[in-house]
Structure 1
Amino acid sequence: MKKIEFGLMTFADAAPETTANSGQNAHRRINELLQEIKLADDLGIEIYGVGEHHRPDYAVSSPTTVLAAAAAITTNIKLTSAVTVLSSEDPVRVYQQFATVDAISGGRAEIMAGRGSFIESFPLFGYDLDHYNELFEEKLDLLLEINKSEMVSWSGQHRASINNLGVYPRAVKGEIPVWLAAGGTPASAIRAAKLHLPLMLAIIGGMPQQFTPFINLYKKTALENGVKPEDLQVGINNHMFIGEDGDRVADEYFPHYAQMMDRVGKSRGWQPMTRQQFEFMRSPEGSLLVGSVEQVVDKIVYEYQLFGFTRFLGHASLGFVPHELTMKSIELYATQVVPEVKRRLGVV
């Protein structure tokens, strides 16, 4: 039978602090997030991803710190970044931190590397945006070299060279799985394919069908570069929120979702989100998985028919949604959505 992994991810949205130099909202949100990851593990969800941001409206700037805390309170769930903004990180420290999470968790750490959709980390850590692409390519090369070899010799343009030095600790079971995250740029599909890396595509707007050429390009290029058909790994990520009543959960979710999209879109020139646009995205062939168990099942099955993915990640919480509603959504996803999708697709 086919094997598909079903997981969740989050950016840990949190209301900006109301008191200067305070971390109370972040404290509350991170504790809620650990409860969410623990619930997902208890209910058999296979992987959980935590994003990296450097803004006042997200609580996690250091995914590995949160993943280490989650590793200590979970048993089976894989723990990954979603994503690590590799362009503004040091690959040696990235590997060391994830190897540490791997040690704590007994081999459950993964890295999802990407350029990120926000650029706040570049000036914060002293990187030039003019080197946006070169930084990512070079640092990805170094990370992959460290991942496969204990002793490293490497040189590049944007980081000091390494001459036959060891990087420790090492991962528990050999190499740490590294996925490449992308938003639909053809160059990203080709890069992942040529490097034999699994690809994770985030679909946060429009119609999923628009991304079939992107996934087809990745698969075609990977096969041309020596990846065996049975080794192809493709992940899909959608914004998701589930309730027992589809119309009711849409009413509950829309204000939070619209506020989040408007907040992010303000700096990108997006128009304010309307309820009409929200409902279009919720339509059977739209990108937004918000509704009842049956509605979400239908859309995941539809996307499998489009892409033939091997991993699906639902974005577990977006905007400042009450924690109890997020916990209910996770419960429905784990206990009703995933089993029904597996039944309909005939997968394990």
Structure 2
Amino acid sequence: MTIDIENLIFGLDTFGDIAYHEETQERMSDEESLRMIIEEGKLADELGIDVIALGEHHRKEYSIASPDTVLAALAMVTKNIILGTGVTVLSSDDPVRVYQRFATVDALSNGRAQVMLGRGSFTESFPLFGYDLRDYNELFEEKAALFNELLKNEPVNWKGRFTQSLDNVQVYPKMTKRLDVQVGVGGSPDSIIRAAKYGFPVMLAIIGGDPKRFKSYISLYQRAAAQFGQPLHPLGMHSHGVIADTDEEAREIAWNYVKKSMDQIGRERGWSAMDRERFEFEIESGSYYVGSPETVARKIAHVMQALGVQRFDFVYGAGGQMQKDRFRTIQLYGEKVIPRVKEILRGE
């Protein structure tokens, strides 16, 4: 797929990793973290970054359990940035309530809401909200189908097994346009096919290994969209990174915090701890975008062109990090990296 250089989209994603105070080296409270995320979103908007996407999690490392609430707050203090999620765990939520919440954010933000639906790679929300993990696939399949009906913005007739049944019900607030929906995919072919079936754009979560291995998923999406007779939307991707004034500084931050975050997840999922060799591989050839603005811009441009993706979201703040370093990453991304990626892709 050829990318349209003049209409590239660049976003920022955060899971709400709780940052650290520089003065005390202590972790912020959840309340402080949420207030800082508002400041980060304001900065991103001022810098002209296209999207900010907030991930839903229900565990101690992260402060964002209710992304749409934070997005509603951001709607009041930003002007242009698209306010999205990355992701909303539809499987353990009520599709009607999700639709209502994002219709509300869309109204408050004058049409800037975007919901990214996902099955959830973290599963704490399932027991928390009373769902059985044995129904993991079936829950998402049925709820995605109901959500697709809600997007028509017409009275809904629906018979559910895992969801409620609706008899000619109009859901409010009623929107004057179709809600902007994406689907986040972490590597499941079934998820790619499902997104194509409903005509949803796809965001690929590429968090490790050579990004080019996702070419097969992009080809699958193109074939499935054609078979279902659905429009072929441009694809996007998100990956972790740290940007600092020098490569050395960025690598030090990433080693101290991104590695810590990945090792914690690895302990829970049976992965081995990341050694220095693996860390360096991810920066040089894998899915970490770590370095000075020039280093990061060149890698983003290379991968976007290789995969043919139209949108790149930079996942910042992994492992918490110092608040000043998070702000610096956002500033350098908006001021230097994004313009430089565009220059490189234009051949300048």
| TM value normalised by structure 2 | 0.93
Deviation (angstroms), 1:223: 2.7
CA contact (8 A) 1:8 1:48 kept: yes
Q: How does 1:120-131 map to 2 (within 5 A)?
A: 120-131=124-135
Give every structure 1 segment of 4 or more consecutive aligned residues whose post-TM-superposition deviation is greater than 4 Å.
none
CA contact (8 A) 1:9 1:313 kept: yes
Deviation (angstroms), 1:181: 0.6
Q: Which amino acid aligns with 2:191?
A: S
| Cross-structure match for 1:311 | 311
| Cross-structure match for 2:337 | 337
Which residues of structure 2 form unaligned runs of 5+? 21-26
Change (3 A) 1:7 1:80: same
Q: Which amino acid aligns with 1:301?
A: A
Deviation (angstroms), 1:327: 0.6
CA contact (8 A) 2:241 2:254 kept: no
| Cross-structure match for 2:63 | 59
**1:117 counterpart SS class:** coil
| Cross-structure match for 2:157 | 153
Deviation (angstroms), 1:24: 6.7
Deviation (angstroms), 1:252: 2.4
2:42 paired residue among 4, 29, 38: 38
Moved more, 301-310 or 7-16: 7-16
Q: How far, CA to CA, are the matches of 1:119 and 1:76 in structure 2?
A: 33
Q: How far, CA to CA, are the matches of 1:44 and 1:329 in structure 2?
A: 14
| Cross-structure match for 2:298 | 298
Q: How far, CA to CA, are the matches of 1:170 and 1:335 in structure 2?
A: 38
Deviation (angstroms), 1:266: 1.2
Root mean square deviation of aligned Cα: 1.7
**2:316 counterpart SS class:** strand
Q: How far, CA to CA, are the matches of 1:334 and 1:294 in structure 2?
A: 13
Identity %: 45
Q: Which amino acid aligns with 2:165?
A: S
Q: How far, CA to CA, are the matches of 2:105 and 2:342 in structure 1?
A: 30
1:87 paired residue among 84, 88, 91: 91
| Cross-structure match for 1:181 | 184
Q: How far, CA to CA, are the matches of 1:222 and 1:247 in structure 2?
A: 43
Q: How far, CA to CA, are the matches of 1:14 and 1:325 in structure 2?
A: 13
Deviation (angstroms), 1:281: 0.4
1:96 paired residue among 95, 100, 104: 100
Q: Which amino acid aligns with 1:218?
A: Y
| Cross-structure match for 1:266 | 267
Q: How does 1:1-348 map to 2 (within 5 A)?
A: 2=5, 3-14=7-18, 25-171=29-175, 173-228=176-231, 231-283=232-284, 285-346=285-346
Which residues of structure 1 form unaligned runs of 5+? 17-22
| TM value normalised by structure 1 | 0.93
Q: How far, CA to CA, are the matches of 2:188 and 2:341 in structure 1?
A: 29
Moved more, 66-75 or 254-263: 254-263
